[in-house]
């Protein structure tokens, strides 16, 4: 759409009266539109400080549920780091001709892939269960399943086949956590808080990684099985408290609106907002949800997985899937295997664990730092520039691999790995969670996130197959030169993001619906003015315009 071009789109009366009644228990839909317009203006103009004051309880409940991701980040690092833990390798590995023990690249890939396959099953279950039973019940069921499945690796007692089954079973509830927490954060938060609450999910992942590295470093001196059993047992710390929080947490108001439970949605909004914020009106906020839901129903009728691949939602699903896959395709496998990688590169075991601990601490700082960037820079800007810097970093790691065994080169590799982690966790790491939560329509959000995470897990399976081949001494044994391969992949990711990734910053969900419906180019999302309301029309009517007052020669940002 070029500057000066404008058009009005009115959806034909495909939204019947029955659809309107199902969307909201009101007779006068025009009144709903007027209230929704007021709520949209309030949300669009709400600053971060105002949003925190208005939605304090929403922030609290979102943070509580997202903490479940700590468990997954914890175990993922455990598994990758155990390959560098002498006690674990002795108990689960095979004796080599030289008298040492080693876990083959095939078994390393099998254990990691078992988690990914289990997660994919959990993801698909979540997409169905959260839509049918709600977010709370689904989350509680997954947490109870987590408590039971942790028993399997704890009791595996050196039997790698049993450990494989345990990793698969634990992956199922993790698949639920991976997407439900992100969708809940996007549903319960206003526009200004979406970036922080969705990216907090990534922070929980980093916190799990940091905790796991610290625990393993503290147990490194142990020579018995408790060196790896204690870390597994520590995962039981999290579920009881999160289950208790889920019992008292409110249900997603968007889910309630989709189910036609309008009054309950209003009660939820009143319960998560401050009564002292006089400008907020729960009735108007609910009307905005009702209008957005009806608008999306006029564009796509269904809420099934297949509907994510139809019409305008196909593009939204594609972007969400590729963006999440980019997390795995841009070289992040180095972080998951960092301890083992550094050990193979020549670091002593203690130093390898020290460096990985520093890596995850830097990741924590980077994720928190992203919260200060996102209000000022767009998601797209941070994502694209982040990929460019990661590309250069990976190239550098590859070149450093040309000097194997050189002490200076070893420390340079370690330093570049820390740089990679910081850049990753201040750019594409956290921003991905925000993007994926915003790309799907509200009616298909949970399933869009599920499909995107499935693609992420499939790409994770590929990583789990090739990384042991790159690093293991009984395979390619590339070491730091693996950076060249990932630099090439990162370059391809950059090209995709530049041409296909839109900018959702500052948009309500209804505005995003209109932009996607009108097939606005990804690079023009930022500057296209949107009006999701039409004067006196039935739900689904919308107008989108891009004129010189908004898109000036200076490319003034729409906000």
User: According to the CATH classification, is domain 56-254+301-500 in 1.20.1250.20?
Assistant: yes
Q: Residue 557 corresponds to which tokens in the numbers above? A: 């940002």
CA separation (Å) from 38 to 32, 106, 281, 517? 10, 59, 9, 23
410 pLDDT band, cuts 50/70/90, is confident
**Structure token pair of residue 73:** 């980040």
Coil, strand, or helix at residue 210? helix
3-class state of residue 7 by DSSP:
strand
Would you give the DSSP letter of residue 443?
T
For 205-243, how does the pLDDT look when each residue is reduced to its tens digit (9 = 90+)? 888 888 888 888 888 888 888 988 999 999 999 899 999
What are the pLDDT digits (tens) for 84-98?
A: 788 898 999 888 888
Mean of pLDDT values over 396-421: 82
pLDDT at 318 (0 to 100): 96
Three-class SS of residue 511?
helix
Residue 456 CA to residue 468 CA, distance in Å, equals 19
Q: What is d(CA 237, CA 212) in angstroms, rounded to the nearest whole number?
A: 13
**Burial (Cβ within 10 Å: 0-12, 13-18, ≥19) of residue 523:** middle
- How sure is the predictor about 559, in pLDDT bands with cuts at 50, 70 and 90? very low
Asked if residue 161 has pLDDT above 90, the reply is: yes
- The SS3 of residue 94 is strand
Which distant-in-sequence residues (6+ apart) come within 8 Å of 279 by Cβ?
Answer: 42
pLDDT band at 348 (very low <50, low <70, confident <90, very high): confident
Count other C-beta atoms under 10 Å from residue 397's C-beta.
Answer: 27
H-assigned helices in 374-481: 379-400, 407-426, 428-439, 445-471
What would the two tokens of residue 521 be? 């180019």
Q: What is the mean pLDDT of residues 367-381?
A: 88
Contact assessment for residue 481 and residue 401, using Cβ atoms and an 8 Å cutoff: yes
Per the prediction, the chain carries an average pLDDT of 83
* Strand extents, DSSP E, 453-559: 529-531, 542-545
Q: Which of 6, 12, 15, 23 is nearest to 291 (CA)?
A: 23
CA angle 283, 289, 290 (to 5 degrees): 85
Structure tokens at 210: 């940091």
CA distance to 266, 333, 479, per residue, from 340 (Å):
51, 11, 10
SS (H, E, C) 232-282: HHHHHHHHHHHHHHHHHCCCCHHHHHHCCCHHHHHHHHHHHCCCCCCCCCH
Q: What is the CA radius of gyration of the chain?
A: 24
Strands 94-95 and 101-102: antiparallel
Q: What's the rounded Cα separation, in Å, for the pair 530 and 536?
A: 17
Residue 76: Cβ within 10 Å count: 20
- Which structure tokens are listed for 228? 């790896």
The predicted-structure confidence for 22-55, as pLDDT tens digits, reads as follows: 444 444 667 777 888 888 888 888 888 899 999 9
CA–CA distance, 99 with 556 (Å, rounded to integer): 67
Is 244's pLDDT higher than 90? yes
DSSP-derived secondary structure for 304-352: SGGGGGSHHHHHHHHHHHHHHHHHHHTTTHHHHTHHHHHHHHT--HHHH
Using alpha carbons, select from 122, 198, 241, 267 the residue that is nearest to residue 505: 198
Please report, for the chain, the start and end positions of each structural domain, with discontinuous segments joined by +. 56-254+301-500
Q: Helix H segments across 28-85?
A: 29-45, 48-54, 56-66, 69-82
Please name the residue that has the structure tokens 């139809």.
310
- Min mean pLDDT across 13-17, 245-249, 257-261, 438-442 is at 13-17
Q: Give the model confidence (pLDDT) of 428-441 as tens digits.
A: 999 999 999 999 88
The yes-or-no verdict on residue 553 having pLDDT over 50 is: no
Measured in whole angstroms, the distance separating CA 556 from the mean position of its chain's CA atoms is: 30
Sort strands 542-545 and 6-9 into parallel, antiparallel or unpaired: antiparallel
Say which residues have a Cβ less than 8 Å from residue 218's Cβ, sequence separation at least 6. Answer: none
Residue pair 103/242 in contact by the 8 Å Cβ criterion: no
Distance from C-alpha of 162 to C-alpha of 51, rounded to nearest angstrom: 48
């Amino acid at each position: 759409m070029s500057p000066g071009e404008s058009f009005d789109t009115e959806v034909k009366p495909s939204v019947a009266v029955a659809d309107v009644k199902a969307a909201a228990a009101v007779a006068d839909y025009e009144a709903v539109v007027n209230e929704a317009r007021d709520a949209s203006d309030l949300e669009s103009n709400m600053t971060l400080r105002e949003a925190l004051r208005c939605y304090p309880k929403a922030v609290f409940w979102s943070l509580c549920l997202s903490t479940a991701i700590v468990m997954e980040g914890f175990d993922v690092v455990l598994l990758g780091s155990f390959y560098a833990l002498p006690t674990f390798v002795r108990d689960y590995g095979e004796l080599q001709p030289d008298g040492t023990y080693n876990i083959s690249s095939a078994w390393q890939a099998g254990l990691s892939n078992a988690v990914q396959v289990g997660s994919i099953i959990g993801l698909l279950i979540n997409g169905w269960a959260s839509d049918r039973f709600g977010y709370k019940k689904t989350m509680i069921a997954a947490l109870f399943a987590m408590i039971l499945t942790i028993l399997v690796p704890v009791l595996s007692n050196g039997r790698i086949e049993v450990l494989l089954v345990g990793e698969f079973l634990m992956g199922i509830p993790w698949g639920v956590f991976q997407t439900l927490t992100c969708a809940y954060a996007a549903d319960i938060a206003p526009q200004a808080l979406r970036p922080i609450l969705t990216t907090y999910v990534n922070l929980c992942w980093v916190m799990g990684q940091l905790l796991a590295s610290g625990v393993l470093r503290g147990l490194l001196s142990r020579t018995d099985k408790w060196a790896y059993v204690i870390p597994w047992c520590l995962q039981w710390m999290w579920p009881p408290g999160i289950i208790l929080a889920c019992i008292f947490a409110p249900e997603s108001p968007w889910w309630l609106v989709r189910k036609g439970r309008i009054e309950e949605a209003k009660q939820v909004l009143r319960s998560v907002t401050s009564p002292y914020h006089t400008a907020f009106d729960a009735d108007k906020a609910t009307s905005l949800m009702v209008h957005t839901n009806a608008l999306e129903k006029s564009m796509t009728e269904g809420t099934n997985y297949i509907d994510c691949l139809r019409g305008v939602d196909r593009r939204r699903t594609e972007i969400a899937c590729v963006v999440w896959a980019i997390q795995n395709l841009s070289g992040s496998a180095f972080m998951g295997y960092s301890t083992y990688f550094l050990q193979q590169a020549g670091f002593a075991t203690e130093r390898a664990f020290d460096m990985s601990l520093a890596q995850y601490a830097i990741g924590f700082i980077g994720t928190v730092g992203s919260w200060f960037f996102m209000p000022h820079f767009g998601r797209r800007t941070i994502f694209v520039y982040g990929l460019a810097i990661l590309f250069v970093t990976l190239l550098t790691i590859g070149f450093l691999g040309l000097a194997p065994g050189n002490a200076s080169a070893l420390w340079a590799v370690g330093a570049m790995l820390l740089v990679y982690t910081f850049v990753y966790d201040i750019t594409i790491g956290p921003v991905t969670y925000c993007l994926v939560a915003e790309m799907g329509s509200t009616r298909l959000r949970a399933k869009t996130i599920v499909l995107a995470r499935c693609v992420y897990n499939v790409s994770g399976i590929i990583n789990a197959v090739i990384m042991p081949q790159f690093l293991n001494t009984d395979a390619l044994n590339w070491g730091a030169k693996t950076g060249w391969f990932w630099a090439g992949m990162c370059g391809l990711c950059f090209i995709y993001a530049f041409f296909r990734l839109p900018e959702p910053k500052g948009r309500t969900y209804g505005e995003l619906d209109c932009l996607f419906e009108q097939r606005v180019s990804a690079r023009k999302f930022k500057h296209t003015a949107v009006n999701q309301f039409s004067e006196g029309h039935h739900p689904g009517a919308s107008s989108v315009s891009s004129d010189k007052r908004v898109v000036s020669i200076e490319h003034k940002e729409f906000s």
